[in-house]
């Protein structure tokens, strides 16, 4: 049920704006992997602009929604069910992991290592992470809405843990994320051999990072 709620709640994100930010880091010949593609909105944006891109996600329900979305827009690509904690078994010019994908892992060193190994030399890893301040900002957060869907969303935070309780159509899904200081992520990138640049971007709650192999 969470996949359906997620897809509906993510429908109003400005994907064109996110694409415009990422576009300077793409080349026309790049193969792009959307790692943690979710229900496929950003993947759809990439394909609509003529990029060669594939999607991977650990959640088969998300991939099913993404497949329907691609078919409805008469677009085709490969979708794979995959855990980013395992080696990719493929190589690409660019790997993106947007919408706080990295925050779903208690530790990201293995994930970042797998991404590094899956990139061609000179390849780019583009991702966002929550700023550490969200742990304070979202402490005991409650949101109840009727539009665009009827849902209740509660957040509990403790140390580096952010736990979401999403109630939708009579069911409650629990989603866990981990938020660390920016230096935690940068230290791992540097240890693997990445160079990187950090910026603020579309969402003021997040850091946006472009790491190059």
- Nearest to 39, CA basis, from 64, 2, 13: 64
* In a shared domain, residues 161 and 197: no
Q: What is the per-residue pLDDT across 110-127, written as a single tens digit (0 to 9) for each? A: 999 999 999 999 999 999
Cβ atoms 46, 32 nearer than 8 A: yes
Does one domain contain both 95 and 163? no
Instruction: Give yes or no: residues 99 and 192 share one domain.
Output: yes
Asked whether residue 90 falls in the same domain as residue 155, the answer is no
21 and 8, same structural domain?
yes
Tell me the CATH number at 16: 3.40.50.150
Helix pair angle (60-72, 2-9), 10° resolution: 50
Do 159 and 125 share a structural domain?
no
Same domain, 123 and 192: yes
Expressed as residue numbers, the domain containing 76 is 2-131+181-212
Domain match, 56 and 152 both: no
| CA nearest to 97, candidates 24, 105, 89, 161 | 105
Tell me: do 140 and 203 sit in the same domain: no
**pTM of the predicted model, to two decimals?**
0.95
Structural domains of the chain, count: 2
pLDDT tens track for 65-107: 999 999 999 999 999 999 999 999 999 999 999 999 999 999 9
Give 134-141 contacts, CB < 8 A, sequence gap 24+. Answer: 134/162, 134/179, 134/205, 135/159, 135/160, 135/162, 135/179, 137/205, 138/162
Q: How do the pLDDT tens digits run along the chain, 213 residues long?
A: 677 878 888 888 899 999 999 999 999 999 999 999 999 999 999 999 999 999 999 999 999 999 999 999 999 999 999 999 999 999 999 999 999 999 999 999 999 999 999 999 999 999 999 999 999 999 999 989 887 778 899 999 999 999 999 888 888 989 999 999 999 999 999 999 999 999 997 899 999 999 999
Q: Degrees (nearest 5) of the Cα angle 179, 129, 195? A: 115
Is beta strand 92-97 parallel, antiparallel or unpaired with respect to 31-35? parallel
Are residue 74 and residue 51 in the same domain, yes or no? yes
Max Cα-Cα span within the chain:
48
Judgement on whether residues 105 and 170 belong to the same structural domain of the protein: no
Task: Encode burial over 32-42: b for 16+ CB neighbours within 10 A, e otherwise.
Answer: bbbbbbbbbbb
Sign of CA dihedral 102, 108, 109, 110: negative
Q: Which residues contact 58 (CB under 8 A, 6 or more apart)?
A: 36, 81, 82, 83, 84
């Amino acid at each position: 049920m969470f996949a359906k709620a997620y897809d509906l709640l993510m429908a109003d994100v400005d994907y064109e704006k996110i694409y415009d930010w990422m576009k300077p880091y793409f080349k026309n010949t790049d193969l792009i992997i959307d790692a943690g593609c979710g229900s496929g909105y950003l993947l759809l944006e990439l394909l609509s602009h003529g990029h060669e891109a594939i999607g991977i996600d650990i959640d088969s329900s998300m991939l099913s929604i993404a497949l329907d979305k691609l078919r409805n827009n008469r677009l085709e690509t490969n979708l794979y069910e995959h855990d980013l904690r395992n080696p990719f078994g493929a190589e690409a010019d660019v790997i993106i992991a947007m919408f706080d994908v990295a925050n779903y892992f208690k530790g990201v060193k293995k994930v970042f290592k797998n991404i590094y190994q899956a990139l061609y030399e000179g390849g780019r890893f583009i991702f966002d992470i929550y700023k550490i301040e969200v742990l304070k900002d979202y402490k005991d957060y409650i949101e109840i809405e009727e539009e665009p869907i009827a849902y209740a969303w509660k957040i509990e935070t403790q140390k580096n843990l952010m736990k979401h309780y999403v109630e939708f159509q009579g069911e409650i899904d629990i989603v866990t994320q981990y938020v660390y200081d920016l230096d935690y992520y940068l230290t791992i990138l540097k240890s693997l051999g990445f160079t990187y640049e950090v910026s603020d971007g579309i969402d003021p709650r997040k850091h946006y990072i472009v790491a190059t192999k």
